[in-house]
Amino acid sequence: MDFGLVLQTDPPASAVVELMQRAERQGFTHGWTFDSAVLWQEPFVIYSRILEHTQRLVVGPMVTNPGTRTWEVTASTFATLNDMYGQRTVCGIGRGDSAMRVAGRKPNTLARLGEAIDTIRDLAEGREAEVDGQPLRIPWVKDGKLPVWMAAYGPKALALAGQKADGFILQLADPYLTEWMVKAVRTAAADAGRDPASITVCVAAPAYVGDDLAHAREQSRWFGGMVGNHVADLVSRYGEHSDVIPEALTAYIRERHGYDYSHHGRAGNPSTDFVPDEIVDRFCLLGPAEAHIEKLRVLRELGVDQFAVYNMHDAKETTIDAYGEQVIPALNG
């Protein structure tokens, strides 16, 4: 099982680089960041610095979207990083939540997202693609390689991930929902004539190692609010009691009342007081290292190839070290 580290690009950028270096030393293989240009610093600038100061770490956004950057710029940026540092990038992409909504725009449609996945990959790998009706090719790209992993929750998005993406990003660590969603993605892949096993499955969620469970929950409750933004979209589309979405995903947002993006992805987010302890425990990995190992073994059996640690809390360094010294060896020893 691979392990990734997910950070927000809060200033100073040097601190983000140092945490990524620490993660690589501790056995992490991937370094991910949020991508929301108004809320945080520009991640692609920082990726260049991370790649320069690490040897093997693969970097990318969790996640970018088709709306805040033109597709040829996204492709060229990834291709440039790969040309400079080797094939060490991955494009995590979704419809866009904070990046779009903070700028007063709606998240992208799935149709636009599906088109962007193909176009960005083709351009970054040196093939011709069409952008806004104009055929384009980046002439200097030679032997380019860019895996595109798609974040998804709902049935149509899961189907799209299975049809087009190289990887599937699931931003929660509940085994029941993981099993349901991985099955949906792989079924869609098979129906599209693809090899379901070729799709990399990445589960991303907060991890907090320690014996004070109450404190760990408070440091991680923000995550239920972040996921709740996407769940609210699903409920508005399919209804609260839908045959196509498990109630295990939707029921907890009944007491949700709005969301303030100025606290997005941060411990102590006041917009997440509706998230019960049960959801925090289901969606996150909390407690002593043994509890993390046990849950990760279950997720691995369900087909998860990578666990990406959301590391937005007050124990960033100790969590990285605990994973490097106890959790990663237990899963990969």
135 burial (CB, 10 Å; 0-12 / 13-18 / 19+) is exposed
Q: How far apart are CA 29 and CA 20, in angstroms?
A: 10
With cut-offs at 50, 70 and 90, classify the pLDDT of residue 229. confident
Average pLDDT over residues 245-272: 83
Q: How far apart are CA 294 and CA 331, in angstroms?
A: 9
What confidence tens digit (pLDDT) does each residue in 16-31 have? 999 999 999 999 999 9
Residue 243 has pLDDT above 80, yes or no: no
Beta carbons within 8 Å of 182's beta carbon, 6+ residues apart: 168, 170, 201, 302, 303, 304
With cut-offs at 50, 70 and 90, classify the pLDDT of residue 101. confident
Contact 194, 162 (CB under 8 A): yes
Residue 246 has pLDDT above 80, yes or no: yes
Residue 204 has pLDDT above 90, yes or no: yes
Average pLDDT over residues 236-258: 82
The share of the chain scoring above pLDDT 90, in percent, equals 81
Give the per-residue pLDDT at 30: 99
What confidence tens digit (pLDDT) does each residue in 41-77 have? 999 999 999 999 999 999 999 999 999 999 999 999 9
Give the per-residue pLDDT at 311: 98
Stated pTM of the model:
0.94
Average pLDDT over residues 71-100: 95
φ, ψ at 47 (rounded to 5°): -55, -40
Residue 109 has pLDDT above 90, yes or no: yes
What confidence tens digit (pLDDT) does each residue in 114-125 have? 999 999 999 999
What token pair was written down for 262?
Answer: 């100025």
